[in-house]
Amino acid sequence: MADGADGGPGAGAAGAAGGWAPVQPQERAMWCDERFNFQATFLQCLAKHVPNIYSAEMDPLLEKQEEMVQAAILYPLECYLFGEDPDIFLEKLQQSRTSQLCGKVFKGGETTYSCRDCAVDPTCVLCMDCFQNSIHKKHRYKMHSSTGGGFCDCGDTEAWKAGPLCTKHEPGASGSAKENSECQLNEEVMEHSRRVFPSVIKYIVDMLIWEEEKELPPELTIREKADSYYCVLFNDEHHSYDHVIFSLQRALGCELGEAQLHTTAIDKEGRRAVKAGHYASCQEAKEEIKRHSENVSQRPLHVEVLHADVMAHQKFALRLGSWLNKLMSYSSDFRQIFCQICLKEEAGSEKPCFISKLMLWDAKLHKGARKVLHELIFSSFFMEMEYKKLFAVEFVKYYKALQKEYISDDHDRVLSVTALSVQMFTVPTLARHLIEEQNVITTITETLLEVLPEYLDKNDKFNFQGYSQDKLNRVYAVIYDLRYVLVSKPTLWTDRLRERFLEGFVSFLRILTCMQGMEEIKRQIGQHIEVDPDWEAAIAIQMQLKNILLMFQEWCACDEELLLKAYSECHKAVMRCSTNGRSREKTVFHLCGHTLESRPYRVSADPVSIHLPLSRTLAGLHVRLSKTGTISRLHEFVSPEEFQVELLVEYPLRCLVLVAQVAAEMWRRNGLSLISQVFYYQDVKCREEMYDKDIIMLQIGASLMDPNQFLLLVLQRYELADAFKKLKPTKDQDLIKQCNVLIEEMLQILIYVVGERYVPGVSNVTKEDVIMREIIHLLCIEPMAHSAITKSLPENENNETGLENVIDKVATFKKPGVSGHGVYELKDECLKEFNMFFYHYTKTQHSKAEHTQKKRRKQENRDEALPPPPPPDFSPAFSNVVRILNCDVMMHILRIILQRAVELETHLWTEAMIQMVLHLLSLGLLEEKQQLQKSPEEEVTFDFYHKATRMGSSALNAVNVLMLLEKLKRVPQLEAQKDTVNWILQMFDTVKRLREKSSLTTIAATSGSEATKGDESTQDKEKAERKRKAEAARLHRQKIMAQMSALQRNFIETHKLLYENTLEAQGKEDAIMEEESMSSAIDYSKIALGPKRGPSVAEKEVLTCILCQEEQEVKLESAAMVLSACVQKSTALTQNRSRILELSGDTLDPLFMHPDLPCGTHTGSCGHVMHAACWQKYFEAMQLNFRQRLHVEQIFDLENGEYLCPLCKSLCNTVIPIVPLQAQKINSEDAEAVAQILSLARWLEIIIVRISGYSVKNAKGEKQNLPAFANKGMGNSALEFHSILSFGVQSSAKYSSSIKEMLILFATTIYRVGLKVAPNEADYRIPMMTWSTCAFTIQCIENLLETEGKPLFGSLQNRQHSGLKALVQFAAAQRTTSPQVLIQKHLIRLLGVLLPNFKVEDTPSLLEVDMFHILVGVVLSFPSLYWEDAVDLQPSSISSAYNHLYLFHLTTLAHITQIVVSSATESPTARSSDNSEEARSAQSFCREVCQYTSGCFSQDIPGWLVWDCVKKGIMPYLRCAALFFHYLLGISPPDELLQVSEEGQFKALCSYLCLPTNLFLLFQEYWDTVNPLLQRWCADPVVLSCLKGKSIAIRYPRKRNSLIELPEDYSCLLNQASQFRCPRSSDDEQKHPVLCLFCGAMLCSQNTCCQELVNGEELGACTSHALQCGAGVCMFLKIRECKVVLIEGKTRGCLYPAPYLDEYGETDPGLKRGNPLHLCRERYRKLHLLWQQHCIIEEIARSQETNQIFFGFNWQLL
Ligand SMILES: [Zn+2]
Ligand SMILES: [Zn+2]
Ligand SMILES: [Zn+2]
Ligand SMILES: [Zn+2]
Ligand SMILES: [Zn+2]
Ligand SMILES: [Zn+2]
Ligand SMILES: [Zn+2]
């Protein structure tokens, strides 16, 4: 098909590297010719080249295409445009580019930053670069993940109150001289641009909106049309990936891979040709695809058949678009010319301009095209303020059409042009302009009105039953636009602005009218409703509208005139909606001499709605009238006759009654939907514009109506009219209960109406006061975290709660520990603000707070009265509200309730009711007291005291409230209220005195202090009494405590071991104690090796099985006891993470450990003991139990022997048998006598003879290489095969069969897990693995103690101590379960490293082994040399003392040589004149080494340096050896090792291990024996190559691993992540960068691009990395989410909080809150320990057990 490449060698176009340059010089010249019509020429050129270039659509060679485009079209075009070489020209422009706007467009997931101090609104954001270079870095910033499509506001002066520019975008920042003048384009280029751009833009527009499938515009059709078509598939959001793949496979019969390829491309680009061919065949394919996709998902895929040329031109149009996009970034002139052309309207034509055309077409474009278009808008219009404004005008002009298109579009909002609204509407000047000139508020509200009618019911109210969530979400976008426009209040009002705003407001009221009373409900009687109606949509809209409603009110309040007009409009609207029920006849209601005439209505029987936005807006405007004082002019706008306050109160009151009835369970049959609505009604997300406003409306009613009438109305609506008449009510218990709840609810509302005054306008409080009060009441419940407080406070339009401004005034911050979070605690002085009946408390919060506060007062030995705090005064407009307290109806209510309590009509009252009555009484008295203190007595008309002390009736038995209170004190059920009653009685007294006093002196000067004096004596008395009682209680408590702790001690005594195991802290002392008890006698008792060896301390061990609780002493011959344990592979000590680990150990020979310690086998234990039999039973039971259950196998892998420790639930996979230590004691005089004969040389000879003897015996006939040693010099022919036995033997220990069984079981587990192979009890590698895990575990523990700075002995956790003890003893005993010949073979190979004469093939050189592993191996295998055919002997104590000594000395000598050789390349960093004995010995040793390495080893290294290296380097080895011999032999270590002291430690180690402190003396002492060894060690080729610098040997001491360094500031990590590029794919899609905390590798997680095939399984980047980096166990940080992930193997993992905290001591998983985060060192250290203690697996298991959510997660693909 590619027939076009006909150009031949052209005139060397710069861009065409491949030499493909079809442009003829004349062609270019033609463009330049002024006489030619550019447009015609341009189109001609395109017509000629484009179809050729894009001919291979199905399988394009992208690079080639691009090359051709450059050469054939773009290069000549640029040449013409710039008039010179494009590269040079653009380079020049680039130099001078100094745009002040950043304009970076965000991709989804990119981190954006906002500043809470300086951003005008939260939509103002910075990109990472700009933020890092801005002043906001030090402010209270927020980090968030972009949803994509936004753009960086750096440089926009309207977006920031301060610091609008980062240092990079500041003028002159680039250092160029021409600061302010951007490089001006010269006139010629401008001229050319004006000529070129229109044609280019027109072509792009024409092609993008081109709808013909088969034809091109005539000017592009220059040749015969070929029958060449494409079947093109388009992206949509309806069909899933799998649907599309499936449909394609079926319809086209293509391979899965191909279908996947197509689908991915479609998802990315928006469309793709899936078939090429003749028209008919493409048409057929189209029908097939449609048919198949329709079958799968009801809706067909969007498929079109396009002619190849059409496709080609559309493709090229996009290429031209991105070309323009690039050009825009170079010069402001380009942008302006571009914008001018885009905005130009054809004269006299009604047609929209280019840019509007594109906008209107947006929803029809495919994804790829939209992206190009939007980027172009960003890079041109949005970079030039003036044109941004013009663009916004166009945008608003077509706003309705655009939104409607969007609502029926099926792409995400980020892909819609409507998403650009936020960029324009949030700019304050632009918003103002759009309101004034384009009437944007009205436009938006009308759009809403036009898109919402489908939800209107017959009454013109919304009804969202059966709504589509997706569609409504799209409607919310419009609501959001309204919010954007209103986000910044104007400071300057013009008439036009006022007019337009009011017009918008009125239009908005029409929307509210449709909501007022929507979704009415009726109480269900008899039957339960069948389906819960949809309620979410209405509540969701309410939430969306909340801030908009508030903003409208705020805007209105800016201007007096406006406020009044808006109020009157709103009032009218409410009145229009308040018509229903008018037809009913009014009825009359009498109570205690007052009557109310009203139309009958019952919430329990008539329809009711909780949606009353109009009434609530009116209430909002009312308080603003009151606040500004404008209320005095209200009558000018709303006449008193029209006002009709009863009608205004009616609907909010009904709503509150509904809530009460729901609480009284009268609406049970209406289902959960109502419960949810009531919840949101009062929840923080909605309450400001629902519940709170209803309370305010009631306050308005109470202030404007006659108080008695008001209360009668309330009583009637609560359907409680009869409850307060003296009639005997019904006997129906349920009804009585219901009635009681209703009374409680009503009293509560009355308390709120009178007492809740913390609203600016209702009283004279500020917003700060309001927030402080909210916080105080939250903290009265309990101390809370910052985020918890934030969540409980309403957010304003800027997502701020105002918390930070006030929190420090009311609370103190308490820092968190290593876990948990920081909390705020209420300051004591704020406690007096506590109001038990705070209106935002839920029922639970109310009782919790009451409980907390009473408890606190009790602890402080104070009375438990919690009277209300004195409320602030009502503002004048509301001052009448208090009259309801002392009106007749109120007195009647109070009296009736109290009377019922006193008369013990138990079922007619509740304690809660009494509490509320008391609260109301308190409010009344406080009010009167405050008034009396403020004004002269005769002016105070508020006569609560008077009313309350008046008789209720003239009857004989009449009582007043005061008398009732006195009686109340004697009601036994109200004991708890006694303190409150006393408080009220005192208040009565106080008010009485105030009244009397002022009437006596007529001067109302004195206040509280004197008036309360009288009370004080009674108060004192009560105080004393209380104190006495408290003291008695304390003594009683003490006594009980003493008894308790005695019991407890007993318990601990009897369950001692159980206790020790759970209390690790105690372990420390215990561990020391057992050793110290024996430490008395002689000094050398603390030597572990050689003739001076001290006694073993073998305590009698009696352990308790955690399963059967029975005790048993551990003995060789008894049934086995076991420790639960977990064996795992580990890379915790590795020195080289780049080493590739073998995943399976089938062919691995683990005898020698590489000195890098790349991967070891760790055995850990939780320290819990069981009988082997009990454990086996437990394990089997669990297997049976869990086989059937789902998911459980994911917590632990039963096949691999996993189980949870029955006591502590740690994950275990085996048990360690507990083998008792065999106590040994030697007579040191005897032993020293042996030394005379048994020198190292002699000992070596003896074992060589023994080994040769075995060799001869075992390998009959085989030719054996007798060690050369045997023949050398010593010539003592007395030596023979049995000589070894002559220094003492004893018979081997006999283990019980059950211990043996466990020895085999555990050894097999180590082998299986450590090598990842199938279990095989007979494998020859089992002993090797046993020694290996023993050595490795000791090394891990030594490492851990060192990094934690703890002493070597005595500081181990109990679980580590008992685990290690059991492990070492097991390792010693394991030998007996293997064939001794096998052990001997391993021993010989091990010795081969030390005694090169033994050298068997493939023995590694000295530098290729870890010496401590050798030591453990040889010591544990050595007794096998004592084995005689039938008799199993073992060395006697004295023999083994020497064996251990010499074996240890040999390995030590070898290790010193290792250290010296490997530090040969060390160059001295400091001079030292140290000429100590050690230095001199070192020097002479080096001379020898130098000699043996033929000078490869440099002799110049000063002796002191060598000594220094050796002393430091050998430390870990000595420490490990000390641990090993201690746990093997049970000999107490010297006291110095129980402390941390470097010098003391070295000496003590040497003494314990029987070494001279000048280690080189060891060589001198054994010189004759060691000399030949040293010679051979040094001559090894590997050693020589290392010394020559050809290979690198490990240095000692090895480095201690730690988790990677993390930056202090989390945004640095985000920064790193933003630079992260996936190593495998180059697309710009969002990646999930994940950081390995072991090695610092950054991985591309959860993405198919980086999956790896391991053993035939697809593994995600993390999982496969973990296999290498952590032998399957690894720790990652998900950077974008700020979470740590722990994983193990392929199936398990868990999340863990990241070690980053915000300033409130809280973590922020998912960066939901976005506060600045800083590294918490202690928490990071905790993670480090989790790793080094090998507890990651345990943590995962624990988390999976408690947190079952992660079962669904496919860890494998992480
Ligand atoms: Zn930026
Ligand atoms: Zn910037
Ligand atoms: Zn700032
Ligand atoms: Zn047991
Ligand atoms: Zn346990
Ligand atoms: Zn790693
Ligand atoms: Zn990747």
Instruction: Summarize pLDDT for 1562-1596 with one digit per residue, the tens.
Output: 998 888 888 888 888 888 888 888 888 777 788 88
Closest to 1685 (Cα-Cα) out of 1646, 1643, 1634: 1634
Summary mean pLDDT of the chain? 83
- Contact (Cβ atoms closer than 8 angstroms) between residue 1433 and residue 1291: yes
Write the pLDDT tens digit of every residue in 1726-1742: 999 999 999 998 888 88
Q: Of the segments 479-483, 618-622, 1313-1317, which one has the largest average pLDDT value?
A: 618-622
Burial of 1554 (0-12, 13-18, 19+ CB in 10 A): buried
- Average of per-residue pLDDT across 152-178: 77
Considering only residues 816 and 1031, tell me which one the structure prediction assigns the higher pLDDT. Answer: 816
Q: Say which ligand is closest to the CA of 111.
A: 1
Name residues whose C-beta falls within 8 Å of residue 109's C-beta, 6 or more positions apart in sequence.
Answer: 145, 146, 148, 1630, 1680
Q: Say which ligand is closest to the CA of 125.
A: 1
Q: Considering the chain, what percentage of its residues have pLDDT values greater than 90?
A: 34
- Model confidence at 1467, pLDDT cuts 50, 70, 90, reads low
Residue 1139 CA to ligand 6 center (angstroms) comes to 12
Give the number of other Cβ atoms within 10 Å of residue 1547's Cβ. Answer: 13
Q: Say which ligand is closest to the CA of 119.
A: 3
Write the pLDDT tens digit of every residue in 481-499: 999 999 888 888 999 999 9
pLDDT score recorded for residue 793: 92
- Contact (Cβ atoms closer than 8 angstroms) between residue 1578 and residue 1585: no
Residue 168 CA to ligand 7 center (angstroms) comes to 31
Residue 134 CA to ligand 3 center (angstroms) comes to 8
pLDDT score recorded for residue 173: 52
Which residues have a beta carbon within 5 Å of ligand 4, which is an ion? Answer: 1105, 1107-1108, 1171, 1174
pLDDT score recorded for residue 1002: 46
d(CA 787, CA 1713): 8
Q: Say which ligand is closest to the CA of 1110.
A: 4
Which residues have a beta carbon within 5 Å of ligand 3, which is an ion? Answer: 115, 117-118, 136, 139
Residue 1638 CA to ligand 6 center (angstroms) comes to 5
pLDDT score recorded for residue 714: 95
Strand partners, 1700: 1719
3-state class of 245 per DSSP? helix
Residue 116 CA to ligand 3 center (angstroms) comes to 7
Kindly tell me if the per-residue pLDDT of 1072 is higher than 50.
no
Name residues whose C-beta falls within 8 Å of residue 271's C-beta, 6 or more positions apart in sequence.
Answer: 232, 233, 234, 235, 366, 367, 368
Residue 1142 CA to ligand 5 center (angstroms) comes to 31
d(CA 1317, CA 1319): 6
- Average of per-residue pLDDT across 1377-1402: 84
Q: Say which ligand is closest to the CA of 1123.
A: 5
- Average of per-residue pLDDT across 769-791: 93
Take residue 202 and report the two structure tokens written for it. Answer: 């027109």
Kindly tell me if the per-residue pLDDT of 1217 is higher than 90.
yes
Q: Say which ligand is closest to the CA of 160.
A: 3
Residue 394 CA to ligand 2 center (angstroms) comes to 28
Considering only residues 1230 and 1566, tell me which one the structure prediction assigns the higher pLDDT. Answer: 1566
- Model confidence at 1073, pLDDT cuts 50, 70, 90, reads very low
Alpha helices in 1115-1204 (DSSP H): 1172-1187, 1192-1195
Residue 651 CA to ligand 5 center (angstroms) comes to 63
Which residues have a beta carbon within 5 Å of ligand 6, which is an ion? Answer: 1636, 1638-1639, 1641, 1669
Residue 1117 CA to ligand 7 center (angstroms) comes to 60
Closest to 444 (Cα-Cα) out of 489, 498, 503, 529: 503
From residue 94, how far is each of 153, 180, 1406 by CA, in Å? Answer: 21, 15, 62
- Average of per-residue pLDDT across 1207-1231: 84
Kindly tell me if the per-residue pLDDT of 1328 is higher than 90.
yes
Q: Say which ligand is closest to the CA of 1644.
A: 7
Kindly tell me if the per-residue pLDDT of 1028 is higher than 80.
no
Residue 101 CA to ligand 1 center (angstroms) comes to 8
Residue 160 CA to ligand 3 center (angstroms) comes to 8
Residue 1167 CA to ligand 5 center (angstroms) comes to 6
Closest to 1171 (Cα-Cα) out of 1182, 1183, 1179, 1163: 1179
Q: Say which ligand is closest to the CA of 1105.
A: 4
DSSP letter at 456?
B
DSSP letter at 1426?
G
Kindly tell me if the per-residue pLDDT of 1275 is higher than 70.
no
pLDDT score recorded for residue 135: 93
Which residues have a beta carbon within 5 Å of ligand 7, which is an ion? Answer: 1622, 1624, 1644, 1647, 1649-1650
- Contact (Cβ atoms closer than 8 angstroms) between residue 541 and residue 479: yes
- Model confidence at 41, pLDDT cuts 50, 70, 90, reads confident
Residue 359 CA to ligand 1 center (angstroms) comes to 26
Residue 166 CA to ligand 3 center (angstroms) comes to 11
Burial of 208 (0-12, 13-18, 19+ CB in 10 A): buried
- Average of per-residue pLDDT across 623-644: 90
d(CA 796, CA 1368): 65
The strand order across the sheet containing 271-277 reads 271-277, 229-234, 303-307
d(CA 1717, CA 1677): 14
d(CA 395, CA 675): 43
Closest to 366 (Cα-Cα) out of 214, 265, 235: 235
Residue 712 CA to ligand 4 center (angstroms) comes to 75
Residue 1353 CA to ligand 5 center (angstroms) comes to 23
Amino acid at the residue 1: M
pLDDT score recorded for residue 1262: 45
Q: Say which ligand is closest to the CA of 159.
A: 3
Amino acid at the residue 1262: E
Strand partners, 1217: 1122
Take residue 157 and report the two structure tokens written for it. Answer: 């002066």
Kindly tell me if the per-residue pLDDT of 1340 is higher than 90.
yes
pLDDT score recorded for residue 1694: 87
Write the pLDDT tens digit of every residue in 1689-1727: 887 888 899 999 998 999 998 888 888 999 999 999 999
Residue 161 CA to ligand 3 center (angstroms) comes to 8
- Average of per-residue pLDDT across 102-111: 82
pLDDT score recorded for residue 1042: 59
Residue 166 CA to ligand 2 center (angstroms) comes to 4
Considering only residues 1256 and 1378, tell me which one the structure prediction assigns the higher pLDDT. Answer: 1378
Take residue 1558 and report the two structure tokens written for it. Answer: 């000048």
Residue 153 CA to ligand 1 center (angstroms) comes to 7
Question: pTM, whole model, 2 decimals?
Answer: 0.79
pLDDT score recorded for residue 349: 72
- Average of per-residue pLDDT across 596-612: 90
- Model confidence at 744, pLDDT cuts 50, 70, 90, reads very high
Kindly tell me if the per-residue pLDDT of 771 is higher than 90.
yes
Kindly tell me if the per-residue pLDDT of 1079 is higher than 70.
no
- Average of per-residue pLDDT across 1429-1434: 76
CB pairs under 8 A, 24+ apart, for 471-478? Answer: 471/407, 472/537, 472/540, 472/541, 474/406, 474/407, 474/409, 474/413, 475/407, 475/448, 475/451, 476/540, 476/541, 476/544, 477/403, 477/406, 477/413, 477/418, 477/419, 478/403, 478/444, 478/447, 478/448, 478/451
Closest to 1458 (Cα-Cα) out of 1450, 1470, 1469: 1450
- Model confidence at 248, pLDDT cuts 50, 70, 90, reads confident
Residue 521 CA to ligand 4 center (angstroms) comes to 65
Closest to 999 (Cα-Cα) out of 1057, 1058, 936: 936
pLDDT score recorded for residue 1057: 39
In this structure, of 104-108, 841-845, 926-930, 1595-1599, the range with the lowest mean pLDDT score is 104-108
Write the pLDDT tens digit of every residue in 1622-1679: 877 766 666 788 999 999 999 888 777 788 777 777 788 888 899 889 988 999 999 9
DSSP letter at 868?
P
Residue 1331 CA to ligand 4 center (angstroms) comes to 29
Give the number of other Cβ atoms within 10 Å of residue 278's Cβ. Answer: 12
- Contact (Cβ atoms closer than 8 angstroms) between residue 1635 and residue 1677: yes
Kindly tell me if the per-residue pLDDT of 1058 is higher than 70.
no
pLDDT score recorded for residue 1415: 96
Q: What is the Cα Rg of the chain in Å?
A: 44
Kindly tell me if the per-residue pLDDT of 586 is higher than 50.
yes
Which residues have a beta carbon within 5 Å of ligand 1, which is an ion? Answer: 102, 104, 127, 130, 152, 154
Residue 1643 CA to ligand 7 center (angstroms) comes to 8
Kindly tell me if the per-residue pLDDT of 757 is higher than 90.
yes
